[in-house]
Amino acid sequence: MKIAILGTGNMGAGLARRLAGKRGLILASRNDDAAKSIASELGAKSASISAAIAEAEIVVLALPYASALELAGSAALDGKIVIDITNPLKPDFSGLLFANDTSAAEEIQHRAKGAKVVKAFNTIFASLFAAPVEQTMGIPVFLAGDDDAVEVSAALVQDAGFAIEKTGSLDAARLLEPLGMLNIRLGFALGRGTGIAPQWASIAG
Ligand SMILES: NC(=O)c1ccc[n+]([C@@H]2O[C@H](COP(=O)([O-])OP(=O)(O)OC[C@H]3O[C@@H](n4cnc5c(N)ncnc54)[C@H](OP(=O)(O)O)[C@@H]3O)[C@@H](O)[C@H]2O)c1
C-alpha cells in the first residue's frame, strides 16, 4: 500500500525517514521544493498534494490541525485510510481547542466522510524519529479508529519503529489528544524535553 505523507515539517519528514526503504512513499507539501528535496534524499517520490492523495491508499496528515481540517473538506479522500497525527492546540498553546465532546480526528472524519480516519502518533515528539530505532521500538503509538484501518495503520507504526497501543474506536481520540497535551506540558512547560513519551505500565499478574 502506498503512503502519501502530506506536510514535510518536523513530523512529516521524521516519519518519512523512518519509513524510507520499507514502504512506497509519496511526499507532498504546499512547498513542492521541500517535498522534492526530502524525497530525493530518501529515494522516495514527491508529487502535488492532489496527485499524492490519488496514488496512495494511506494518507498521513502531517499538517497543522487547521490545514488538515481544511484539506479533509476539500481533497478526494474517499476510500483512503487517513492518519491524523495532529494536536489541535489553541493559538497561544495554552490548551486544546476542544473539550471532551469531540476531537480533531472526529472533526476530520466529519469533513472526510468517505475516508477511514485513524488517530496516531500525536503523543510522539518529532525528535523521537531521529533516535535509533532500538530506543523507540518499545514506545507506544496510540491508535484509535475502526478495526480494519487500525490494523493497516498498526503495520505502518511497526515499520516506523514503534510499538502499537490500540485504544478502540475513533472517539478515543478525545482521550489521546489530551494525552498529547500532557506530553507537551511535561516536555516544554515542565522542562522534561522532547525525548519523552507516554507509555502504559502494568504489574505482573
Ligand atoms: N512536532 C511535534 O513534535 C509533534 C508531535 C505530535 C504531533 N504533532 C502534530 O503534527 C502536525 C505537524 O507538526 P510539525 O511539527 O511537523 O509541524 P511543522 O514542522 O510546522 O510542519 C507542518 C507542515 O505542514 C505544512 N503546511 C502547513 N499548512 C499547510 C497547508 N495549508 N497546506 C499544505 N501544507 C501545509 C507546512 O508547510 P510549510 O513548510 O510550507 O510551512 C509543513 O510542511 C501538527 O498538527 C502537530 O500538532 C507534532
**pLDDT by residue (tens digit) across 144-157?**
999 999 999 999 99
The three three-digit cell numbers of residue 68, written as one number: 488538515
Closest Cα to atom 25 of ligand 1: 7
**pLDDT by residue (tens digit) across 36-63?**
999 999 999 999 999 999 999 999 999 9
pLDDT confidence of residue 45: 97
The three three-digit cell numbers of residue 122, written as one number: 500525536
Residue 205 has pLDDT above 80, yes or no: no
Provide the percentage of residues in the chain whose pLDDT is more than 70. 100
Closest Cα to atom 46 of ligand 1: 86
What's the CA-to-centroid distance between 86 and ligand 1, angstroms? 8
Given ligand 1 and candidates 30, 32, 103, which is best to mutate, with the most ligand atoms within 8 Å of its CB?
Answer: 30
**pLDDT by residue (tens digit) across 1-44?**
999 999 999 999 999 999 999 999 999 999 999 999 999 999 99
Quote the CA–CA distance of 108 and 71 in Å, as a whole number: 9
Taking residues 197-203, what's their average pLDDT? 96
Secondary element (H or E) of residue 165? strand 163-166
CATH fold, domain 2-189, is Rossmann fold (3.40.50)
The whole-chain average pLDDT of the chain stands at 97
Provide the percentage of residues in the chain whose pLDDT is more than 90. 98
Closest Cα to atom 40 of ligand 1: 31
Q: CB of 144 within 8 A of CB of 118?
A: yes
DSSP assignments along 28-97, one per residue: E-SSHHHHHHHHHHHT-EE--HHHHHHH-SEEEE-S-HHHHHHHHHHS--TT-EEEE----B-TTSSSBS
Quote the CA–CA distance of 113 and 72 in Å, as a whole number: 9
pLDDT confidence of residue 204: 83
What's the CA-to-centroid distance between 61 and ligand 1, angstroms? 9
Quote the pTM value: 0.98
**pLDDT by residue (tens digit) across 161-181?**
999 999 999 999 999 999 999
Match 500525536 to its residue by C-alpha cell.
122
